[in-house]
């Protein structure tokens, strides 16, 4: 397995692979200034042979992860999870998604491509996550919540059952979301209030 992204997020992905005894073949990064990652020499232009192994896109920023995914010409890994994550057999996760230590994904949930379910996050029953969503550490999505493409739910945020959160929105750390949130909104506080909208050019 390859890791694309010699970053802090990449280090946690590295630990996930180690926890599953998956061999790490190569580490890629576009940034020429990043030369080393843990015990690896970083590869800036992977060759055809190196691209034959499945790769995890370990890029924390949702928009950049989408850009990289759109031009990546290798094989994307299946969803991967740390051994300590609890994932229902009745849930589904698409390729490229990563699940960090201690996260919980309950029955009936459907998770798209290249999502991040970060450490200790709870994704309750029947949740729907579109592609490139990031659920930050210790955030809680209760039953039947949906989150559209590219949205980040900040660390420790809570979302009550059935709420629909739009695309490319940003839910602040610790926010409590009790009503639907439109696309591109930035929301903070308890109860969550919209403070601004993000640029729509995604």
Binding stretches for ligand ACO (CB under 6 A) = 118, 136-137, 154-155, 170, 172-174, 186, 188-189, 195
Residue count of the chain, please give it: 202
CB 117 within 8 A of CB 123: yes
DSSP β-ladder status, 26-28 and 2-4:
parallel
Q: Is 134 annotated to bind ligand?
A: yes
N-terminal to C-terminal alpha carbon distance within the chain = 29
Q: Is 44 annotated to bind ligand?
A: no
The residue from 44, 82, 114, 125 that is catalytic is 125
Q: How far is CA 121 from the centre of its chain?
A: 11
CB of 186 to ligand ACO, least distance (A): 5
Nearest to ligand ACO of 77, 136 (CB atom): 136
CB of 202 to ligand ACO, least distance (A): 15
DSSP 104-147: EE-TT-EE-TT-EE-TT-EE-TT-EE-TT-EE-TT-EE-TT-EE
Q: Is 154 annotated to bind ligand?
A: no
125 is catalytic: yes
Taking the C-alpha atoms of residue 200 and residue 110, their distance in angstroms, rounded to an integer, is: 25
Nearest to ligand ACO of 94, 173 (CB atom): 173
CB of 51 to ligand ACO, least distance (A): 28
CB of 172 to ligand ACO, least distance (A): 3
Nearest to ligand ACO of 178, 195 (CB atom): 195
Q: Which is nearest to 51 in space by CA: 70, 20, 77?
A: 77
Binding residues: 7-9, 60, 134
State the catalytic residues: 125
- Give binding residues for substrate as ranges: 7-9, 60
Q: Which residues are annotated as a binding site for acetyl-CoA?
A: 134
């Amino acid at each position: 397995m390859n890791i694309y992204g010699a970053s802090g997020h990449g280090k946690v992905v590295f630990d996930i692979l180690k926890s599953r005894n998956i061999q790490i073949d190569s580490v890629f990064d576009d940034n020429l200034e990043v030369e080393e990652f843990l015990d690896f020499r970083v590869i800036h232009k992977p060759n055809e042979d190196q691209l034959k192994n499945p790769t995890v896109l370990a890029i924390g920023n949702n928009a950049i992860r989408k850009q990289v995914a759109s031009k990546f010409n290798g094989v994307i890994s299946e969803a991967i999870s740390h051994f300590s994550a609890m994932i229902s057999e009745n849930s589904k996760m698409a390729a490229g998604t990563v699940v960090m230590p201690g996260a919980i994904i309950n029955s009936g949930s459907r998770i798209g491509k290249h999502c991040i379910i970060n450490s200790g996050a709870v994704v309750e029953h029947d949740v729907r996550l579109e592609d490139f969503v990031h659920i930050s550490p210790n955030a809680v999505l209760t039953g039947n919540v949906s989150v559209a493409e590219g949205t980040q739910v900040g660390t420790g945020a809570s979302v009550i059952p059935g709420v629909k959160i739009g695309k490319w929105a940003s839910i602040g750390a610790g926010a409590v979301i009790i009503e639907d949130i439109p696309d591109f909104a930035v929301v903070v506080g308890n109860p969550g209030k919209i403070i601004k909208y993000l640029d729509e050019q995604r």
